[in-house]
């Protein structure tokens, strides 16, 4: 017994030693591991979200901002009674417009403390939830958490440029490009929590404040953006662009992008909703809704909608590139503006005949004339004089071989020849902008360097980044990289191009009061199967004598009968230039001719003295006829607020004597039938309409003097209708003879 | 002091015959000389006349080993003196209960506040039960153990009835039904049975000594091993019917240890343990359930969703994160509801976290010392019953303590075993003190003297 008692003790002692060893292992050797586990248990890190930076335009209008929203969630584990569960499910589903069963299912989950019912609830709804919580004292069952949602006040304006912030950050546009800087650094609040997530005494409490993201001050001006987008939409509709249109307005000196748009601005607040055209394409694709192909197409369309055509797509610039070829020619001195060149309608380069758009040829002419007429052989001849090596050098210097480095995501690189493959034929076709592709942003950047005296600038959308106190953190205002051509060459070119607007193929880019230098372009889509597809574009900068802005509009695959850039793009470029310069307070300077053709804004003369009104109207250079007797005007035609051409225009004033109680009836209510003037020369149409006694208002190209070739595109009153003499008929002037 | 007086109040008729004796630490001889006290010969069992031959041989043996008291059959040669209780034992018990109560307070207050709304909920009750328990212990320590022996069959019978009652009246707690609810308090009959079985085995061996020590191998095996094992087996079956696995294991362990010390045949132990190992291996390898349990045990982190495993893991985290010095008394982080009911089975985890390796080693050491002291008392105890009773109680406390620590350190799979003196538990604590009372009562008879 004694021995066995000792054996028993020894067994116990051995077990104790073994357990001691086990404890040594746990508490000493594996201490770190278990300490880590405990801290994992204990420390609850609540993230204090850094506020995402705002995106402003250059007038500090908010383009992307944050609004406070609420997340409604419930704590199922705290819903003890079935009665409460039903009530909570019922009330919440009503307030939040969520399916009852969904809420009930979430409310029934055991051991869950956080089940989201709805996110991004607005304040009004949140208040209702709060009232519900108060009413039944559901403070432990229903919770509201303040969250924030990205909001885009301009909705669909500059959508592709601003971009969209998805769940995990920016998806495209500036939101993507500057995602990191916008995001900031989240703060942390580390507290010790017991197993029920309640606070407990601890020494681990730490608070790290969040660093809010920087805000972007962009170079965009939403007013100019609106102007550009309006014109893009017009040309998209009027010229039935098959592959969309895009445009850029840029400050020529800094490379600041004032406006950049791809048509089909979708609402950034609902970026997954297809715009009408795309929705139709999906609808009529014949694919079964919900099928894999259907979804594939849907996503393809969404991505395509998001794509910024100005930077992510390439095109053959066509004749607009002739500006660059000419610049190289003038800079190297192989041509001057007066050099005489001959166009026979085609040019043979390296044994290949390359034709001019004018098959009959432009004949013999000065370099500037041929450039204004957008003659291909003239360019090929110039290029031949420059030589491939020099041409290539300048081509590179203008930046065509690189990306521009604009601060937008997804910039496409141009598709270019290689130097080793750049021979006379390649150079000849390149000289008028074919056989290589570039992006619209690259093209306008190159044109900017002609406009600003030869300096290559870096295009940019963000001017500066500011912190939450408004201090500038990063200054991104553009610096020119290098001078490519001399200021003199640029001046000469501006003059030639301005002449092109007055007399050349860029006549549709004419803007009365502003001197515009422009070049149109129509390029073949050489990589498309359909050989008739074209890209029409126009690039302009103005004022020509002191350029401030450059404008480019690219119409991809115009579907109308006329596809030339001079028709599908130039008029809209003119409108953009006009409105933008006016907005920028650039004063209009009219020539005498322009003054004569300027429209007259009819005032409200009713109640005025006849003599006074008469003087007023005649001082403006408009004929005035007074009908009836009396000292006071009681009616007029055209009506107040209408615009009319001064030339051959007549304002009819109806006078009466206020002493007399009775007003005489409007006499001479003469009506005339409106003729069809569409397709006529503008000058002829003016004559016909004024002969009938109508007043005219001309829109579109104001360069409609006889011989300009301007035609009437549209008339505001349909032919055949009867119209009172003196009424205004608006006709749209357009140059259709402007092939390039 | 109260317990130093060593007065036998004469609760039984046998006690009344005895003279009082004061314990001063001096040898009995000196005492007797000084106080002129009379030695009173006292046979252990009335009516049983030991044979002369045996007495002589026993005496011889005792002579060889001066202090040996095994197989004590004092008869006429030995004086039984009722002395004071064993003071080292008392000190150890009080140390354990004080340490345990402090830990109950520290471990429970976060949980108590959360669950009961009163940080002091558990400690108040623990102190109350400890006080009652100590009173019970002191009372029992004054009862002559022979009286306890007399009542053993009755106590055992009641325990058996209670175990049966549990099956009918028991309160379910999870899968297992092991509690009897008596309104103001509830208790586990299996706790009562632990003492009951220990006493019963002791009683059995004291009653069948001759047969056990018989020369014949089979006869000795029958009385020394098979019959007592069948007692243990029957009790285990009763507890197993409650689906109380840990209780069954502990009961079995206690029984085996008592039988081993009492002189069970080693051959059968060898065969049994061989069969046991083989069976366990077979079960583990052949059933999916067991394989899974084994995997859970070896890789608890993969099963943290299960509440039992969660408890094991959180316990491990607590112990491990204590390091060498611990995070300081009261500073446990895991007791903040990570370790569920930290005042119960996993209190040792909180000891480990707050007091570190120092604390856990101290607890281990205290239990080792406790066992040592119990076995010393057993060695000095006057007869078979008392020896085996103390041994059994030591086995019970030791097994529970070490199995508990093994569970908390994930050395063995998680099964509900409380840590004696530490885990919160009202009636169990009182029963524990009742057992301590028995030990202390027997310790009074540690002084066997030659006539």
Query: Which residues, in sequence order, are bridge partners of residue B450?
Result: B78
Q: Under an 8 A CB cutoff, do A27 and B320 touch?
A: yes
Mutate to test the interface with A, among B266, B320, B384 (most CBs of A within 10 A): B320
Assess whether B192 and B258 both reside in one domain. Answer: yes
C-alpha torsion A357→A361→A365→A368, nearest 10: 0
Q: How far, in Å, CA of A161 to CA of A219, rounded? A: 11
Domain topology for A313-508:
Beta-lactamase (3.40.710)
Residues B328 and B366 in one domain: yes
Q: Out of A34-48, A354-368, B134-148, B170-184, which region has the weakest mean confidence (pLDDT)?
A: B170-184
A598-735, CATH topology level: Trypsin Inhibitor V; Chain A (3.30.10)
Any domain includes B322: yes
pLDDT at B174: 59
Q: Is it the case that residue A478 has pLDDT exceeding 60? A: yes
CB neighbour class for B66 (10 Å; exposed up to 12, middle 13-18, buried from 19): exposed
Between CA A328 and CA A312 the distance in angstroms is: 27
- Integer Cα distance of B424 and B107 in angstroms: 10
Q: Give, in order, the Cα–Cα distances in Å from A384 to each of A339, A355, A381, A490, A519.
A: 14, 16, 5, 21, 22
Whether B147 and B273 map to the same domain: the answer is yes
The lowest-confidence range among A661-670, B122-131, B413-422 is A661-670
- DSSP annotation of A26: I
In this chain, the answer to whether the domains covering A49-178+214-218 and A313-508 adopt an identical fold is: no
**B18 touches B39 (CB < 8 A):** no
Same domain flag for B45 and B169: no
pLDDT at A450 over 90: yes
Q: Name A245's bridge partners.
A: A555
A543 upstream amide cis, omega within 30 of 0: yes
Tracing tokens 């170079």 back to the chain, one arrives at A219
Q: Which residue of A has its CA nearest to B357?
A: A27
Residues B70 and B118 in one domain: no
- Flag the least confident range among A552-556, B27-31, B251-255: B27-31
Contact A494, A724 (CB under 8 A): no
Q: Which residues constitute the domain of residue B184? A: 87-446
Average pLDDT over chain A, rounded to an integer: 88
Q: Identify which has the larger pLDDT, B302 or A399.
A: A399
Closest Cβ opposite residue A23 in set B313, B314, B357? B357
Min CA distance, B331 vs chain A (Å)?
9
| Domain presence at residue B304 | yes
Degrees to nearest 5, angle at CA A575 with A569 and A577:
100
Name residue, tokens 């050349």.
A504
Burial class from Cβ neighbours inside 10 Å (0-12, 13-18, 19+) for residue B19 reads exposed
Distance between B366 CA and the closest CA of chain A, angstroms: 10
The pLDDT, as a whole number, for residue B331 is 84
A345 alpha-carbon distance from chain centroid: 39
Residue A462: beta bridge partners?
A218
The confidence band for A340, taking pLDDT boundaries of 50, 70 and 90, is very high
The answer to pTM > 0.80 is no
Cα–Cα distance measured from residue B71 to residue B262, given in angstroms and rounded to the nearest whole number: 10
Phi (first) and psi of residue B332, to 5 degrees: -55, 140
B288 and B365 fall within a common domain: yes
The pLDDT tens digits for A213-245 are: 999 999 999 999 999 999 999 999 888 888 899
Indicate yes or no: CB of A1 within 8 angstroms of CB of B364: no
Q: Which helix (H) or strand (E) holds A165?
A: strand A165-166
Chain B residues with CB under 8 Å of A198 CB are: 114
Considering CB atoms only, which of B337, B387, B409 is closest to A19? Answer: B409
Q: Quick one: B62 and B93 in the same domain?
A: no
Q: Does residue B388 form part of some domain?
A: yes
| Residue after which a domain boundary falls, among B20, B46, B80 | B80
Q: Which of B119, B336, B393 to mutate to test the interface with A (most CBs of A within 10 A)?
A: B336
d(CA B430, CA B340): 24
Shortest CA distance to A488 belongs to which of A336, A382, A340? A336
Task: Determine the pLDDT at residue A222.
Answer: 95
Residues with Cβ < 8 Å from B81, sequence gap 6 or more?
B21, B28, B39, B445, B447, B449
**B314, B323, B395: residue with CB nearest A27:** B323
Q: What span, in angstroms and rounded, lies between the C-alpha atoms of A712 and A727?
A: 18
CA of B280 vs chain A CAs: smallest distance (Å): 20
A119: Cβ–Cβ under 8 A, 6 or more apart, which residues? Answer: A69, A71, A72, A147
- ipTM confidence: 0.81
> Measured between alpha carbons, how far is A502 from A509 in angstroms, rounded to an integer?
9
| Helix, strand, coil percent values for chain A (each to nearest 5) | 35, 25, 40
Residue A242: CB partners within 8 Å, gap ≥ 6?
A533, A556, A557, A558, A559
Residues B136, B28 share a domain: no
b/e map of B383-400 (b: 16 or more CB within 10 Å)?
bbbbbbbbbbbbbbbbbb
A49-178+214-218 is classed CATH 3.90.1310.10: yes
Q: How far apart are the first and last CA of chain A?
A: 121
Instruction: Say what the alpha-carbon torsion angle A189, A195, A200, A206 is, to the nearest 10 degrees.
Output: -20
* pLDDT above 60: residue B7: no
Same domain for B153 and B262:
yes
DSSP letter (8 states) at residue A504 = S
Q: Which of A150-164, A246-260, A541-555, B15-29 has the lowest mean pLDDT?
A: B15-29
pLDDT at residue A433 is higher than 70: yes
Comparing A559 with B169, the larger pLDDT belongs to A559
Give mean pLDDT, residues A598-623. Answer: 84
Q: What is the DSSP letter of A62?
A: E
Tell me how many domains chain B contains.
2
Strand-pair partners of A517 = A541
The three-state secondary structure class of A68 is strand
Contact status of A14 with chain B (Cβ, < 8 Å):
no
Domain edges within chain A: 2-46, 49-178+214-218, 313-508, 598-735
Max mean pLDDT among A528-537, B6-15, B183-192 falls in A528-537
A contact residues 336-365, partner B, Cβ 8 Å cutoff: none
Question: Are residues B15 and B66 located together in one domain of the fold?
Answer: yes
Same domain, residue pair B58 and B196: no
> A33 to chain B: which residues are within 8 Å by CB?
320
The whole-chain average pLDDT of chain B stands at 79
Shortest distance, CA A114 to any CA of chain B (angstroms)? 18
Give residue A49's pLDDT: 81
Distance from CA of A101 to the nearest CA of B (A): 27
Q: Taking CB atoms and an 8 Å cutoff, what residues of chain A touch B324?
A: 27-28, 31
| Averaged pLDDT for residues A630-645 | 84
- Find the range with the poorest average confidence among A177-191, B49-63, B362-376: B49-63
Asked if the Cβ–Cβ distance from B317 to A41 is below 8 Å, we say yes
What residues does A524 pair with on adjacent strands? A534
In this structure, is residue B274 part of a structural domain? yes
Q: Looking at residues A632-660, what average pLDDT do you find?
A: 83
Q: With contacts defined as CB-CB under 8 Å, which chain B residues touch A35? A: 320-321, 323
Rounded distance, CA A210 to CA A187, Å? 4
The last residue of a domain, from among B80, B99, B131: B80
The residue ranges of DSSP E strands in A604-709, in sequence order, are 623-627, 632-637, 643-645, 650-656, 671-673, 695-700
Residue B393 lies in a domain: yes
Q: Which residue in chain A is spatially nearest to B265 when comparing CA positions?
A: A4
Record: contact A5-B378, CB cut-off 8 A: yes
Which pLDDT value is given to residue B61?
Answer: 40
Q: How many residues does chain B have?
A: 451
pLDDT band of A248, cuts 50, 70, 90? very high
Greatest CA span in chain B, whole angstroms? 73
User: Residue B262: its chain A contacts at CB < 8 A?
Assistant: 1
Query: Do B61 and B115 share a domain, yes or no?
Result: no
Question: Do the strands A462-466 and A472-475 form a parallel or antiparallel pair, or are they unpaired?
Answer: antiparallel
B191: CB partners within 8 A, 6+ apart: B427, B428, B431
Judge whether residue B37 has pLDDT over 70.
no
- CA–CA min distance B87, chain A (Å): 20
Task: Please check whether residue B451 lies inside any domain of the structure.
Answer: no
Give the Cα separation of B201 and B261 in Å (integer): 11
**Pair type for strands B78-80 and B448-450:** antiparallel
Contact in structure between A152 and A142 (CB atoms under 8 Å) = no
Give the per-residue pLDDT at B172: 64
| Tokens matching residue B136 | 């019970």
């Amino acid at each position: 017994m004694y021995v066995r008692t000792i054996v028993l003790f020894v067994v116990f002692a051995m077990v104790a030693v073994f357990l001691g060893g086990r404890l040594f292992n746990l508490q000493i050797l594996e201490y770190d591991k278990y300490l880590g586990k405990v801290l994992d248990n204990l420390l609850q890190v609540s993230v204090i979200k850094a506020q995402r930076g705002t995106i402003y335009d250059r007038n500090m209008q908010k383009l992307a901002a944050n609004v406070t929203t609420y997340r409604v969630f419930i704590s199922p584990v705290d819903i003890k009674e079935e009665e409460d569960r039903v009530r909570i499910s019922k009330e919440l589903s009503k307030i939040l417009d969520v399916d009852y069963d969904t809420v009930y299912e979430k409310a029934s989950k055991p051991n869950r403390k956080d089940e989201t019912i709805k996110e991004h609830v607005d304040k009004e709804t949140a208040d209702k939830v709060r009232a519900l919580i108060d009413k039944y004292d559901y403070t432990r069952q229903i919770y509201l958490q303040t969250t924030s949602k990205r909001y885009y006040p301009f909705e669909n304006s500059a959508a592709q440029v601003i971009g969209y912030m998805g769940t995990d950050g920016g998806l495209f546009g500036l939101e993507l490009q500057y995602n990191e800087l916008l995001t900031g650094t989240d703060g942390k609040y580390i507290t010790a929590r017991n197993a029920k997530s309640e606070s407990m005494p601890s020494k681990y409490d730490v608070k790290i404040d969040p660093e809010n993201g920087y805000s972007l001050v962009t170079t965009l001006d939403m007013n100019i953006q609106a102007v550009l987008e309006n014109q893009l939409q017009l040309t998209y509709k009027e010229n039935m662009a098959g592959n969309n249109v895009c445009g850029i307005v840029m400050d020529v000196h800094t490379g600041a992008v004032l406006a950049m748009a791809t048509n089909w601005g979708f609402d950034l607040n609902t970026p997954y909703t297809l715009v009408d055209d795309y929705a139709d394409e999906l609808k009529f694709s014949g694919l079964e809704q919900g099928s894999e192909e259907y979804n594939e197409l849907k996503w393809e369309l969404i991505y395509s909608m998001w794509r910024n055509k100005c930077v992510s797509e390439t095109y053959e610039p066509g004749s607009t590139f002739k500006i660059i070829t000419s610049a190289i020619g003038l800079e190297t001195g192989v041509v001057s503006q007066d050099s005489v060149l001959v166009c026979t309608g085609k040019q043979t380069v390296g044994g290949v005949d390359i034709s001019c758009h004018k098959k009959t040829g432009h004949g013999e002419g000065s370099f500037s004339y041929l450039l204004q007429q957008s003659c291909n052989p003239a360019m090929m001849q110039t290029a031949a004089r420059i030589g491939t090596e020099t041409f290539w050098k300048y081509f590179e210097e203008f930046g065509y071989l690189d990306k521009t480095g604009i601060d937008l995501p997804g910039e496409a690189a141009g598709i270019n020849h290689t130097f080793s493959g750049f021979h006379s034929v390649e150079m000849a076709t390149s000289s008028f902008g074919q056989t290589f592709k570039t992006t619209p942003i690259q093209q306008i950047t190159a044109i900017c360097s002609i406009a600003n005296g030869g300096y290559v600038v870096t295009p940019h959308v963000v001017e500066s980044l500011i912190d939450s106190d408004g201090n500038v953190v990063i200054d991104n205002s553009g610096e020119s990289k290098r001078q490519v051509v001399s200021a003199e060459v640029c001046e000469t070119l501006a003059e030639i191009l301005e002449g092109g607007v007055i007399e050349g193929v860029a006549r549709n880019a004419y803007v009365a009061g502003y001197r515009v230098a422009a070049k149109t372009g129509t390029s073949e889509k050489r990589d498309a199967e359909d050989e008739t597809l074209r890209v029409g574009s126009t690039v302009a900068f103005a004022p020509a004598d002191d350029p401030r802005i450059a404008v480019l509009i690219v119409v991809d695959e115009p579907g109308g009968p006329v596809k030339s850039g001079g028709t599908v793009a130039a008029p809209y470029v003119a409108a953009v230039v006009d409105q933008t310069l006016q907005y920028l307070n650039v004063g209009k300077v009219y020539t005498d001719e322009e003054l004569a053709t300027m429209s007259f804004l009819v005032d409200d003369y009713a109640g005025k003295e006849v003599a006074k009104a008469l003087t007023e109207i005649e001082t403006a250079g408009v004929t005035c006829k007074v009908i009836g007797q009396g000292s006071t005007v009681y009616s007029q035609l055209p009506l107040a607020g209408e615009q009319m051409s001064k030339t051959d225009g007549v304002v009819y004033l109806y006078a009466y004597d206020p002493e007399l109680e009775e007003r005489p009836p409007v006499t001479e209510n003469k009506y005339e039938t409106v003729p069809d003037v569409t397709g006529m020369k503008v000058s002829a149409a003016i004559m016909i309409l004024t002969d009938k006694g109508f007043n005219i208002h001309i829109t579109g190209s104001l360069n409609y003097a006889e011989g300009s070739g301007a035609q009437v595109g549209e008339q505001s009153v349909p032919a055949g209708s009867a119209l009172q003499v003196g009424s205004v008929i608006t006709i749209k002037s357009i140059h259709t003879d402007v092939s390039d | 002091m109260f317990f130093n007086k060593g007065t036998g109040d004469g609760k039984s008729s046998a006690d009344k015959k005895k003279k009082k004796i004061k314990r001063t630490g001096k040898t009995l001889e000196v005492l007797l000389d000084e106080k002129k006290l009379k030695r009173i010969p006292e046979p252990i069992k009335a009516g049983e006349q030991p044979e002369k031959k045996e007495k002589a041989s026993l005496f011889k043996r005792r002579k060889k080993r001066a202090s040996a008291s095994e197989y004590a059959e004092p008869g006429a040669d030995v004086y039984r003196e009722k002395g004071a209780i064993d003071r080292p034992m008392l000190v150890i018990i009080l140390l354990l209960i004080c340490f345990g109560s402090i830990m109950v307070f520290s471990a429970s207050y976060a949980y108590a506040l959360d669950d009961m709304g009163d940080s002091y909920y558990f400690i108040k009750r623990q102190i109350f039960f400890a006080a009652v328990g100590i009173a019970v212990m002191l009372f029992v320590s004054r009862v002559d153990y022979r009286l306890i022996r007399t009542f053993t069959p009755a106590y055992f019978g009641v325990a058996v009835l209670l175990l049966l009652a549990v099956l009918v009246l028991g309160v379910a707690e999870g899968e297992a039904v092991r509690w009897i609810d008596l309104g103001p308090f509830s208790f586990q009959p299996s706790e009562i049975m632990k003492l009951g079985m220990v006493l019963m085995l002791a009683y059995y061996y004291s009653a069948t000594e001759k047969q056990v020590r018989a020369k014949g191998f089979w006869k000795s095996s029958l009385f020394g091993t098979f019959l007592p094992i069948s007692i243990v087996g029957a009790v285990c079956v009763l507890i197993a019917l409650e689906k109380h696995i840990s209780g069954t294991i502990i009961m079995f362990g206690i029984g085996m240890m008592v039988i081993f010390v009492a002189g069970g045949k080693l051959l059968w132990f060898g065969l049994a343990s061989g069969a046991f190992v083989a069976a366990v291996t077979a079960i583990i390898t052949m059933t999916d359930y067991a394989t899974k349990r084994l995997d859970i045990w070896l890789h608890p982190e993969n099963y943290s969703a299960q509440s039992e495993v969660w408890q094991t893991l959180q316990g491990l985290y607590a112990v491990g994160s204590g390091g060498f010095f611990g995070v300081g008394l009261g500073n446990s982080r895991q007791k903040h509801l990570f370790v569920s009911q930290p005042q119960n089975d996993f209190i040792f985890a909180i000891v480990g976290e707050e007091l570190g390796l120092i604390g856990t080693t101290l607890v281990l050491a205290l239990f080792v010392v406790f066992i040592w002291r119990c076995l010393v008392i057993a060695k000095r105890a006057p007869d078979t019953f008392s020896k085996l009773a103390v041994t059994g109680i030591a086995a019970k406390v030791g097994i529970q303590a070490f199995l508990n620590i093994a569970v908390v350190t994930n050395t063995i799979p998680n099964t509900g075993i409380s840590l004696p003196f530490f885990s919160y538990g009202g009636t169990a604590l009182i029963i524990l003190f009742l057992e301590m009372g028995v030990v202390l009562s027997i310790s009074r008879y540690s002084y066997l003297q030659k006539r």
